[in-house]
Structures are given as C-alpha cells and as structure tokens.
Structure 1
Amino acid sequence: GLNNISCVLEEILKNKNNLNITVVCGNNKDLKKHLEKTYNKIHNNKFINIIGYTTEISKIMEKSDLLISKPGGLTSSEALMTALPMLVPFIIPGQETENIDFLCKNNCAVYVKNLKHINNKITHLINNPNILKNMKLSAIKLAENFSKDNIVELCNNILSNR
C-alpha cells in the first residue's frame, strides 16, 4: 500500500547513484496521486516515472535492471520470465514467505528485511554487476525448468503412468 511504497521510494531516493525509477501503482489511484504530488519527475538526480494500471508490465520489466517488489506469485513469475532480478523489501506472510525462500535459494532474489538497508543493497548490486548478471542467469535457468512445455510434459508423464 501507500505507506510501504512511500517508505521504499524514500530509501531509494537517498541512493547516491543516478537511477531511473518506475513506480507502477496499478489500480491504486490514491497511491498514484500521492506519489505524483510528493515527487517531481526528477528528484535527487533520479528520474521518477509514476504510472497507474498498465498492460505493458513485461515491456517495463524487460527494460529494467532490478525489480523492487513484494514476491507475489504473478509478479515473481513475470520477473522470472523476463530474467529480472528481484530485491524484496517486504512480504505478506504465507505464500509470499515460501516464494521469497524459493527465489533466494535459487539466486533470483535478495530479501532485505529492514527497509533502511535497501540503499546499501542497491549500491552493492550496482558496484558488483556480476551479481545481477548471475541473478539474471539463475532466473533464465529457473524459468526454463518451469516452462509450460516442461509442465505439460510432466502432466502427460503423470497421466500416462496411471
């Protein structure tokens, strides 16, 4: 919601690197209005693009170097399919706990339990591009393992063994 996104954005804006930031608010019009009112397009040498609902998520992800988001099922799947490393600053207990454990174990995401550490983690990833590269490669490998073709093949094998 509004508070989590605002806190994360505040931390990102403290980063000393030049960043292009895209915030996708989805259907949350209050969040979009709040962010547009609070932040200019350029803030602390960072370009901020705030958008509402869009059908262009995969295009946005393909142009991105890092996704900062909670690890919902759809978001995590889209990130894997576009080989986009994730930095996760918060989770909703339950399924997202399992998602982040799985993504971290497979080197596709980094979980930052304290919002105050987001900045350091972003700087660390920028200064160590091989880490991001390896996370991308891990996402590609994982996405291939769980591709629709492999899932169909698994289902066919299960059904044929009945």
Structure 2
Amino acid sequence: MHVLFLYALTGSGHLKAAKYVAEAMTRENADIRIHMSDALKLCYSSFEAFILKAFRFLISGCPVTYRFLYRLTEKNSIFNHIAGWFFSSSVSELKKICSEIKADCIVCTHPFALLLASKLKKELKTNTPLILGIITDYKIHRFWVYPQVDLYFVPSAEMKEDLLRLGWSADRIKVTGVPCPPDIGHDLKVYRKRKPFLLVSGGGWGLGNLEATTVSLLKRQIGHTLMVVTGENNELYQRLKIIRAKYPGRLIVKRTIPKLYNTMKNALAVLTKPGGLTVTEAMILKKPLILLKPLPGAEEKNLDYLISRGAAISYSTFLKQTDIIDRWHELHSYRQGLTARSDSSHQIACSIIETCARSNLSGNNAE
C-alpha cells in the first residue's frame, strides 16, 4: 500500500498533522509505504515563493484584507473554481508523482492540497487514488470542501453536521479529532530543577503580538518565568534576547522546539495563538489554555469555538484572573477532554488503512 501525504508549509501545523498520522500508520503496519509532498512545491519555484510571501503579508500585515477575503469565500465555492483553473500545471505534477509511486490514496492536511488532489480526480475520472481530507481546524471553511473527496476526518460532531448540511453522506465523514502525536502520553521529560514557567508560542512562524505580550506579562510581575518560543521568526528572537537582559531569570527565549508537547507537559499554562495542532496538544495534556490574539480567518474561528466549549479562555480573561491557572482542573479540564482526543492519529490511521484495503479489494477507485 502506497500512501501520499500532501500538505502545504503555510506554517508548521499541516506538516505535523501529516507526520503524526503517517507515524501512526507505520506503527499499525510497517509494510505501508509513506510518501510526503509539499503541495506548494508542485508550483513553479518563483510562484511558490510568491504565494508564501503574499500569504504571510496578508495574514500578518493586512489582516483586515485577509479577513474580508476569508469571509467572502466562506459560504461559496467561487475561490475553489478559480484556483482549480489557475493551478492546472501543479495538478500535472501531482499526477506524475502519483503515477511514479503508484499511490493508493492521497491524504491531504491542507485546503490547497485538497484542491490539487480533487482537481486530479476530476480530470482522471477513473483509476484514481482515493482522496482523503484531514481537517486541522475546529470550524470548516469552503476552502476545505470538494465533492471529489472520498472521506473526511473531522474534529467534532458539529463539523460533521456542517458537512451533512452541505450534502455529504454520513459514511464519508468520520469524527476522529485533530491529529496529535501518537506518543503524546509517553516520553515525559520532567525538569524538576526548573522553575515553574508559562509557555508562550506564536506557532512555527512566530507570528502574532508575542513581543508585546511578553513585555506586558513581565511588567505585570505575575510571579512565573516565561518561556517564549519564536519559531522561525529570527528578528523576534533577537529582540526578545535584548528584553531578556532587562529581566534576569524571568525570561527564556527559544527558537523552534522539536516535540513542543513535551515542553508543554512541564508548563504551568500554555499561551498561544489558536492554531489547530498546538491547541489540540495543550487540551489533551489538560493544560490551562490561554488564547492570544488570533491571526485572521481560521484561528479566529478556532478561538470562538474553543472558548464557547469551555476548553480555553482568552488572554484578556486571563489578565483579569491570573489565579485561574490554579483552578483550571475543576473549571475546564473536563471540557478539554470532550474537545480533543489523544487517540486521534491512531483512529485516522486505522481508518485510512481499512478504507484503502477495502477499495483495493473492490478494484474500484473510480469516482
């Protein structure tokens, strides 16, 4: 069985989701052949760079414009149709990859990946790989929705209902939760000599108001050390190092931390922008989850959903009652357990294996 995971590096979460499920699959069956591909790499290199720069500029530099475009396309599929035509050369590259590796299915963890895979299936019509979509946010958007998708893995029963209303049949939707590390409950490294700390993260790109948030927390004398993770944002890293010198012993600055969830296990609380993977890991660990100002679009939806579920609180709420960390278990842990699943990657992996095996037996991968 050959499985192609198709993601897009607009941040780190979509690749992490693919790796988590791929790892779970190989644990179930070591004979499965896993292939990974960045959907953006299927574009011309100059165009790939343009897409990433434009995305980062809009989402961090022009949030009002990005939010307008996100909402404009939220209830209709006009963007999907236009983009499908625009990226036809990328679909041809995907076709070559699938032919070379003899892909049985394409597992997509990003809307752009689903766009290309769906376009491929629409063009080939017969003898196509199965198209499977793993939705990594807590509210759906039309960017994710294509009729050619054979099976969706969704984080909640509410999202399943959304897809049912859009015309999907129940057997094409599985509620599994957002992917998480298969070993999230293991390999705990306890740093007993380290002072209690608050973990502050801006995702893989280190976006958001991390510098202002850090300074605000340091000035408030909240009594805990801050560990701030800047990701790939080197400029932010250098600025925070200067700030660190003004607050001896109260600020730890890190770039990217592999297996950030292991660091989370030792944190008193997690303060983060509401990216789907990071908040899921924090909820599984039952950590106090404080949501910083979201990037426009999906993160705003994640924030609203998690707060409404009682699985997280906003940063402004935290500032009003910082002692909520001490009462988190009695107030919010139960709701977190209902929202995120520690076996999500295992459930998705088993379902992919079963679905591909059943399709191969029937010999019918046609639309």
What is the deviation of 1:151?
5.4
Distance 2:277 2:247 in 1: 30
* Alignment partner, residue 227 of structure 2: 22
Q: Does 1:102 align with 2:305?
A: yes
Counterpart among 227, 232, 244 of residue 39 in structure 1? 244
What is the deviation of 1:122?
4.0
What is the deviation of 1:67?
1.3
Change (3 A) 1:102 1:150: farther
Q: How does 1:56-71 map to 2 (within 5 A)?
A: 56-71=259-274
Q: How does 1:81-160 map to 2 (within 5 A)?
A: 81-112=284-315, 117=316, 121-122=318-319, 124-126=321-323, 129-130=326-327, 132-133=328-329, 134-144=331-341, 147-148=344-345
What is the deviation of 1:145?
8.4
Distance 2:342 2:305 in 1: 14
Point out the structure with the larger helix share: 1
What is the deviation of 1:16?
3.1
Change (3 A) 1:3 1:151: closer
- Check conservation: 1:41, 1:48, Cα contact below 8 A: no
* Alignment partner, residue 66 of structure 2: none
SS of 2:250's partner is strand
Tell me which amino acid in the other structure corresponds to 1:147.
S
What is the deviation of 1:51?
0.6
Change (3 A) 1:18 1:100: same
Change (3 A) 1:18 1:86: same
Distance 2:285 2:207 in 1: 26
Change (3 A) 1:55 1:127: closer
Identity, % of aligned positions? 22
Q: Does 1:12 align with 2:209?
A: no
- Check conservation: 2:294, 2:300, Cα contact below 8 A: yes
What is the deviation of 1:87?
1.4
Change (3 A) 1:85 1:71: same
Deviations 1:82-115 (A, max 9, x none): 2222212311121112111121122121124xxx
What is the deviation of 1:40?
2.4
- Check conservation: 2:208, 2:273, Cα contact below 8 A: no
Change (3 A) 1:90 1:42: same
Tell me which amino acid in the other structure corresponds to 1:67.
V
SS of 1:16's partner is coil
Distance 1:111 1:142 in 2: 17
What is the deviation of 1:78?
1.9
Distance 2:324 2:350 in 1: 41
SS of 2:251's partner is strand
Change (3 A) 1:100 1:31: same
Unaligned runs of 5+ in 2: 1-205, 359-367
Change (3 A) 1:99 1:108: same
SS of 2:268's partner is coil
TM-score by length of 1: 0.74
Change (3 A) 1:78 1:18: same
Tell me which amino acid in the other structure corresponds to 1:74.
L
Unaligned runs of 5+ in 1: none
* Alignment partner, residue 253 of structure 2: 50
